[in-house]
Amino acid sequence: MARLNHFDLLALGFMTFALFLGAGNIIFPPIAGLQAGEHLLPAAIGFLITAVGLPLLTVVALARVGGGMPALTAPLGQTAGTALAVAVYLVIGPLFATPRAAVASFEIGISPFSGMSPLALSVYTSVFFLLVWALVLFPGRLIDMVGKLITPVLIVALILLGTAGLWLPAGPVAPPQGDYVAQPLLKGFLEGYLTMDALGALVFGIVIATAVRDRGVFERRLVTRYSVIAVLIAATALALVYLSLFYLGAGSHILAQGVSNGGELLTRYVQHTFGTPGLLLLSVVIVLACLTTAVGLMAACGEFFGELLGQPYRRVASVFVLLSLLISNAGLTQLIQFSIPVLMGLYPLAIMLVVLNLADGLWHVPERVFRPVMAVTCVFGAADGLNAAGIGQWVAQALTFLPADGAAWQSLSAVRDLATRFFQSLPLADVTMGWVLPAAITLVIAASADRLRGRPPADR
């Protein structure tokens, strides 16, 4: 019976760390630390819950069901489960996360030397995705290429950067800003959404398991064990990276004038502290981090959609690499702004899916609980996402085309006002978490009804 030796297991953990460590993991902690200021600790704890704890639980849930997202979403039914899986794969694949990885690595690692011209971005993203495509063609060699070659270089560079943030702060820690003044933990929790790691974990679970099987390990118990160990290694490393970048941002107040994202702040800090050699180090960190994440995401999308559509893996992966290349030229700030409402609507579904799978021993028939709880979460999560997108302003603007004294205008205005008041009256709605109470109530009712109905006759 084949087993992984300690070196291969460590390489698997390094590979998992590299898959998760992408654009969002590097650009969001510094800006969150800057805004949290003196409330750094509770903000960082909230961030770690969604950016480290939730991905870890997600992989554990996947390991328990012994498969990828299809196994995790099975109680929802084939149609709903497939729809959720497609949405997750598109978001963490060609629509948001993968293009963001390319653009972030350009703006942070390359633009200080090349400038921010559209031509420079286009040339860089072309080369970036050419490398991604070349690596994606051989998914079975991810441990060798990523875990044993790329990640050790990345870890050394991150240690140097993180140590600098701790021992060479740019200035004193400033007072907190915005929502970090009154609700630092909750604000940090929401900022952790932006890393997309919980969504990434839904698809990386199968990539990790495939990498284990490619080493000749096929026993389900061992595949599960090695997957969980790999994620524990990755989670520990990610937490250390986040904490060091949080502190780096908290001490960079004097450098933050006019910055629009964490990538710009990080670039300014490195240039201020180390000059040009520091920028070269940062280029290595960000390019390697984003490259490995993009490879993992494209490999996962190729495997999922290849099986779903009945098409060869390489053909599907190549199409998604090309689509990511086209979208990546939108710019980092624009991609972040566009992705926020989508994540606010999709993350609640990911959270509840993991919670329900981890607690599956509490009910007799999973379908009785999964379907109503996920349906309610979808409705209220979508409302939070639409609110984050400013949909109320769009509706108000659309209504201006109707006569103000017309019956249609009055009816639509009344419906809009009623819906707005209802969703805004929910607890935590002001921080785009209005879905929590409705989902919790539905869970209690559905679980109670399941216990009262008992097991189906065939299972007794």
Mean pLDDT, the chain, rounded, equals: 82
d(CA 357, CA 72): 7
pLDDT band at 319 (very low <50, low <70, confident <90, very high): very high
d(CA 132, CA 124): 12
Q: What is the pLDDT of residue 367?
A: 92
Residue-wise pLDDT for 204-228, tens only, equals: 777 787 778 777 777 777 888 888 8
Q: What is the pLDDT of residue 68?
A: 72
Q: Is the model's pLDDT at 46 over the cut of 80?
A: yes
- More reliable by pLDDT, 110 or 419: 110
Percent of the chain with pLDDT over 70: 88
Q: Is 317 exposed, middle or buried (0-12, 13-18, 19+ CB in 10 A)?
A: buried
CB-CB contact of 229 with 13 (8 Å): yes
For helices 220-250 and 54-65, the axis angle rounded to 10 degrees is 170
Q: Is the model's pLDDT at 173 over the cut of 80?
A: yes
Q: What is the pLDDT of residue 397?
A: 46
Q: Is 113 exposed, middle or buried (0-12, 13-18, 19+ CB in 10 A)?
A: exposed
Residue-wise pLDDT for 115-163, tens only, equals: 878 899 899 999 999 989 988 887 555 556 555 666 677 777 777 777 8
d(CA 30, CA 337): 17
Q: What is the pLDDT of residue 49?
A: 92
CA distances from residue 188 to 27, 247, 297 in whole angstroms, order as listed: 14, 14, 25
DSSP per-residue string spanning 158-169 = HHHHHHHHHHS-
* Most confident option among 142-146, 238-242, 284-288, 373-377: 373-377
Q: Is the model's pLDDT at 335 over the cut of 60?
A: yes
